[in-house]
């Protein structure tokens, strides 16, 4: 019974890590995507990038920990996922590297062409992951071809199905809207004004696409043999999806009312509840097989040994609170809003 509880516990912890990553890195992606639109000159673009400057690399730690926890707790899931999704995950990795280098390197030279090149790299390095993470998770939730040896048997084109592409568009729009609300909360002046305008324009499209994706997910969940798979009650999924829809709709009114803090909370809540619903619809599976349900990976047949899970639990109980406390402290230290006047001449 203890081992079974630990399997569910680590599935929950991995879900929390991904939720934290998408919530925090989501506004980083959004700021990068909006950079050409909110930054009409170099000073505006510097303000936008400064807003995420103290945080973006720390936010990426959530991705590293999520990947490491998956590898340690569910090695079969990790192996099938990273081998089958190799190309899109490789593109995400390269995009994240390019974005990180661009953020650091743009300040090394004041020449307009130099900075324009790295600004373009920030945009591309933010847009690609924002879209591809949605594609990847949509495929995980709906299921992919997996054989009896837990090997992915599809191709790249298998992953680019209509449901997955809609999922990618949903995360792209959600993260961009999240970035707009973050800039409205974190900056003052022209950047904040343009971010507000972008948010008001993005919100209706985001609500429509995200609602369509969540509805499609619920329809698929309703059509599954739920008792045989041991999934959570459909009513629970609908309830969480309703919260996500309410939060998304609320962001529209909050943006119009210029309630910056609450608008950011609303877009963040949309991301949190939408990702939570995806993991709830997945449980206890970790990677469904569309080839044969008997080949599906779940929290039992993909898990590490009970001893490994126990040791990991002890380590997590010690270190996770410390990491969370440090990151919360860093956000508190850099909580002030940014303006053009605060910039140094050459930074």
Q: What is the pLDDT of residue 131?
A: 97
Q: What is the pLDDT of residue 336?
A: 85
Per-residue pLDDT of 204-239, as tens digits, reads 999 999 999 999 999 887 765 444 454 678 888 999
Is 2-337 a domain of CATH 1.20.1630.10?
Answer: yes
Average pLDDT (316-326) is: 88
Contact 125, 98 (CB under 8 A): yes
Q: What number of other Cβ atoms are within 10 A of residue 270's Cβ?
A: 28
Query: Does position 342 have pLDDT exceeding 70, yes or no?
Result: no
User: What are residue 297's phi and psi, to 5 degrees?
Assistant: -90, 135
Instruction: Give the confidence band of 333 by pLDDT, cuts at 50, 70, 90.
Output: confident
Query: Does position 10 have pLDDT exceeding 70, yes or no?
Result: yes
Sign of torsion, CA 245 172 85 76?
A: negative
Contacts of 259 (CB under 8 A, 6+ apart): none
Query: Does position 4 have pLDDT exceeding 80, yes or no?
Result: no
Contact 277, 237 (CB under 8 A): yes
Highest mean pLDDT among 116-130, 144-158, 307-321: 116-130
Instruction: Give the confidence band of 335 by pLDDT, cuts at 50, 70, 90.
Output: confident
Query: Does position 106 have pLDDT exceeding 50, yes or no?
Result: yes
Per-residue pLDDT of 256-286, as tens digits, reads 988 989 999 999 999 999 999 999 999 999 9
Per-residue burial over 158-187, b if 16 or more Cβ lie within 10 Å, else e, is: ebebebbebbbbbbbbbbbbbbbbbbbbbb
Q: What is the pLDDT of residue 347?
A: 52
């Amino acid at each position: 019974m203890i081992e079974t509880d630990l399997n569910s516990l680590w599935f929950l912890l991995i879900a929390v890590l991904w939720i934290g990553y998408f919530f925090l890195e989501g506004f980083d992606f959004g700021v990068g995507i909006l950079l050409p639109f909110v930054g009409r000159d170099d000073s505006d673009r510097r303000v936008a990038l400064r807003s995420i400057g103290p945080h973006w690399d720390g936010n990426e730690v959530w991705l590293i920990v999520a990947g490491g926890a998956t590898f340690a707790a569910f090695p079969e899931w990790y192996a099938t996922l990273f081998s089958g999704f190799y190309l899109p995950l490789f593109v995400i990795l390269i995009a994240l590297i390019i974005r990180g280098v661009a953020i650091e390197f743009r300040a090394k030279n004041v020449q307009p062409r130099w900075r324009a090149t790295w600004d373009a790299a920030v945009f591309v390095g933010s847009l690609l992951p924002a879209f591809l993470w949605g594609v990847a998770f949509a495929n995980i939730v709906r299921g992919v071809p997996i054989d009896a040896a837990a090997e992915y048997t599809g191709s790249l084109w298998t992953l680019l199905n209509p449901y997955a592409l809609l999922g990618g568009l949903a995360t792209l729009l959600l993260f961009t809207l999240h970035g707009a609300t973050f800039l409205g909360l974190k900056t003052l002046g022209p950047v904040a004004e343009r971010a507000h305008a972008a948010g008001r324009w993005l919100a209706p499209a985001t609500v429509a696409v995200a609602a369509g994706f969540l509805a499609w997910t619920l329809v698929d969940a309703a059509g599954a043999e739920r008792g045989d798979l041991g999934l959570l009650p459909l009513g629970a999924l609908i309830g969480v999806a309703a919260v996500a829809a309410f939060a998304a709709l609320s962001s529209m009114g909050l943006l119009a009312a210029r309630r910056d803090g609450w608008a950011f909370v609303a877009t963040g809540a949309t991301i949190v509840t939408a990702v939570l619903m995806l993991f709830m619809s997945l449980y206890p599976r970790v990677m469904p097989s569309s080839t044969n349900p008997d080949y599906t990976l779940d929290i039992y047949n993909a898990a590490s040994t009970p001893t490994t899970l126990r040791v990991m639990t002890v380590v997590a109980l010690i270190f996770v609170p410390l990491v969370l406390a440090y990151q919360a402290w860093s956000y508190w230290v850099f909580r002030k809003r940014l303006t053009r006047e605060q910039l140094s001449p050459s930074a």
